[in-house]
A and B are shown apart, each in its own frame.
Chain A
Amino acid sequence: MQITSEALERAIEELAKLPGTGRKSAQRIAIHLLKQTDEHVSKLADALIQLKKSVTRCSVCGTITDTDPCSICSNHKRMNGVVCVVEEFQDVYIIEKTNEFRGRYHVLGGTISPLENIGPDDIRIKELLDRIADEDESIEEVILALNPDAEGEATSYYINKLLKNYEIEITRIAYGIPMGTELEFIDEATLSRAFASRTSF
């Protein structure tokens, strides 16, 4: 293809770096943007710049926020002594959507993974211990809500072991059958996990 515009080419190149966007979709998006009004494109550009500028990490829980501490950490009603430990800030959004959990969060920012050179000191485990030691936080229970893959399990194990030295309750979320799913469509691994973490009726 003959390059007719350096600017277009540059935009395509940058767009193609986005996750899930190949060169073809990047081309489509760039050409679409060219056809929009100046105002529309400026709005998009501004939103992207603000996204990076004003979003920070909450100094308490580590989730992303516009204000520090975040709205959850600064909400006194949510000081109920329970902290839910998750891998990434997306997990906070997922759990928040359920409206079930009324405590606070702690975002680790990853899981232990030697293959990616991530050790216990590279994720926010020390910050969790600091929070537990902090009397103002008065944490009584820590819920581990990490993914059930090898790295998530290793991280849960590591944290659980550290927390045994503190007088707090440590729990983990149960693995189960997705609601509204019939048993015959559940894979064997999920089903055996669900059996292992069964609850009394």
Chain B
Amino acid sequence: MRINRLKLQFFRNHEETEVQFAPHLNLFTGPNGAGKTNLIDAIHYLCMTRSFVASSDQYVAHHDEKYFMIDGDFEGEIRSSFKVSCSYSRGEGKKIFVNDSPLDRLSDLIGMIPVVVLSPEDRKLTSEGPAERRSFLDSMISQISPKYLRDLIKFRKIRKQRNKLLQEYQGPLSMLKSYLEPWDVQLAQTGTAIIFKRAQVLEKFKEYLAIQYQSITGLNLEPTLRYESICDKYDSHEQIHEEYVNQIESNFEKEAEREQTIIGPHRDEVVFYLGDIELRNYGSQGQHRLFSMALKMAQLFYYSDELDDLPIMLLDDVFGNLDQQKIDVITEALTKHSGQTFITSASERPFDQEMFKGSEQNVWFTVENGTVSSKF
């Protein structure tokens, strides 16, 4: 999958910007605050319906305006060419259009244009709480399985309904139980589907992770992961479902007392290890950075094997803190990945001009004050 053209209106510091991209490598250099990240964040909007930097759409509109607009022309293996647009205004909120017709649900876009982002924020993946890893996992799986995404959305709804019952119900516990039952059945069904899928994906993903970590670090430390959910084994759907139903049953009083749903994939954890040590508690800063980088590179190659279309890769400002050797390893990996790649960097030093001069595959852009021009 690739994006051939991007047009921005009032998107952060881009009042009006239109760029034609190269099919392979697209490099953006320029001073900090010039608008490099905003460009690839706009691409991220067209893939995932949201920013990978800002927490809310309203911060993304140009400071003088109350709306923004993003347009992109895409080209893929299955859909040969199509257009995706995203508009936002304070009054009407966010809308996504595919070939000018609006999507009923924003989530319908996800998976159409697979994307992987590498950014300095990634260190949170391994160093912060389990929610970071769940959201990484959810975003990774949602892009390859629309059913998984629907299950997630449905699960969230069921859990909200159930929590409301647990919080507000005043009568006898036996009655509460009968009111909960229609939700419990669905909670177990949908929750099981989520857990089973997570376990399946992680089983494959960990092989990609090991390969990427070793190729980035050159070390023989084996990275592993352990998926922690409601049971010990995740071999079959039936087995998980049975365990889930049992646990809803045995935790009924606890849930009634705490007034919330405590059994389910919303409490899952993925624990990362380097050799024997648990990364989150004992890893060094450098180990965290390289591990999270390996996670994203693993996602890239996992997608490449799993999907018909190669994902679009976005690397935001990740070369700044790396030594030349690691930069070379990653650049080499990206050259192997024949899909489209976008890189932002404040420094020009790590990049070889010869790769870009006279090339139809690669373009080097310089960005200044929201204006983009090609360097050669």
Interface residues of A (CB under 8 A from B): 112-115, 119-120, 149-151, 153-155, 157-158, 161, 187-189, 192
Residue from A157, A187, A189 within 8 A of B182 (CB atoms): A157
Bound CA span A187–B158, Å: 22
B227 CB-CB contact with A under 8 Å = no
A21 to B: closest C-beta gap in Å = 13
Decide: A157 near B161, CB < 8 A? Known: A119-B179, A189-B146, A192-B147: no
9 extra A-B contacts, CB within 8 A, seeds A120-B179, A155-B182, A188-B145: A114-B165, A115-B161, A115-B164, A150-B186, A151-B161, A154-B182, A161-B181, A187-B146, A189-B147
Answer whether residue B160 sits at the interface, using C-beta atoms and an 8 A cutoff.
yes
Cβ contacts under 8 Å, B165 to chain A: 114
Chain B contact surface mostly: helix
Q: A66 CA to B30 CA in the complex, in Å?
A: 71
| 18 interchain pairs, CB-CB under 8 A | A112-B182, A113-B161, A114-B162, A114-B165, A150-B158, A150-B183, A150-B186, A153-B182, A154-B161, A154-B183, A155-B182, A157-B181, A157-B182, A157-B185, A161-B182, A188-B145, A188-B146, A192-B147
Number of interface residues of B (CB under 8 A): 19
Residue of A nearest to B108 (CB): A187
A154 to B160, alpha carbons, bound, how many Å?
Answer: 13
Task: Give residues 135-174 of B contacting A (CB, 8 Å).
Answer: 145-147, 150, 154, 157-158, 160-162, 164-165, 168
Q: Within the complex, what minimum Cβ distance (angstroms) separates A105 from chain B?
A: 22
User: Nearest Cβ in chain B — how far from A165, in angstroms?
Assistant: 14
How far, in Å, is A117 (CB) from chain B's closest CB? Answer: 8
Which single member of B147, B154, B168, B181 contacts A188 (CB below 8 Å)? B147
B150 CB, min distance to chain A CBs, angstroms: 5
CA of A152 to CA of B182, assembled, Å: 10
B-side residues, CB < 8 A to A, are 145-147, 150, 154, 157-158, 160-162, 164-165, 168, 179, 181-183, 185-186
CB distance from A119 to the nearest CB of B (A): 7
Tell me the complex Cα distance, A192–B150, Å. 12
Q: A158 and B182: CB pair below 8 A?
A: yes
Instruction: Say what secondary structure dominates the interface of chain A.
Output: helix
Q: Which 4 A-B pairs have the closest CB atoms?
A: A154-B182, A114-B164, A157-B182, A188-B147
Distance of A201 from chain B, by nearest CB (Å): 25
Say yes or no: A150 contacts B145, CB within 8 Å.
no
Chain B hits for A192, CB < 8 A: 147
Whether B147 contacts A150 by the Cβ 8 Å rule is no
A155 cross-chain contacts in B, Cβ below 8 A: 182
Collect the chain A residues with CB atoms within 8 Å of residue B147's CB: 188-189, 192
A153 touches B186 (CB 8 A): yes
CA–CA, A115 and B157, complex, Å: 10
Residues from chain B with Cβ under 8 Å of A187 in the complex: 146
Closest to A193 in B: B147
Q: Which residue of A lies closest to B148 (CB)?
A: A188
How far apart sit A189 and B147, CA to CA, in the bound complex (Å)?
A: 5
Q: How far is the CA of A188 from the CA of B147 in the complex (A)?
A: 6
Chain A residues with CB under 8 A of B150: 189
Tell me, in angstroms, the Cα distance from A113 to B179 when the chains sit together: 11
> Of all chain A residues, which has the CB nearest B161?
A114
Q: Across the interface, do A150 and B154 meet the contact criterion of CB distance under 8 Å? A: yes
Q: Which residues of A contact B146 (CB under 8 A)?
A: 187-189
List the B side residues contacting A161 at CB < 8 Å: 181-182
Which of chain A's residues have a CB closer than 8 A to the CB of B186?
150, 153-154, 157
A154 contacts which chain B residues (CB < 8 A)?
161, 182-183, 186
**Across the interface, which residues of A come within 8 angstroms of B154, CB to CB?**
149-150
Cα of A31 to Cα of B147 in the assembled complex, Å? 47
Q: Which residues of B contact A153 (CB under 8 A)?
A: 182, 186
Distance between B307 CB and nearest chain A CB, rounded to angstroms: 14
**In the complex, A155→B160 CA distance in Å?**
16
- Closest approach, in angstroms, between the C-beta of B178 and any C-beta of chain A? 8
Q: CA separation between A146 and B162, bound complex, in Å?
A: 20
**Chain B residues whose C-beta falls within 8 Å of the C-beta of A157 in the assembled complex:** 181-182, 185-186
A188 to B197, CA, bound (A): 14
Given the complex of chains A and B, what is the CA–CA distance between A150 and B159 in angstroms? 10
Chain A residues within 8 Å of B168, by CB: 114
CA distance A113 to B165 in the complex (A): 9
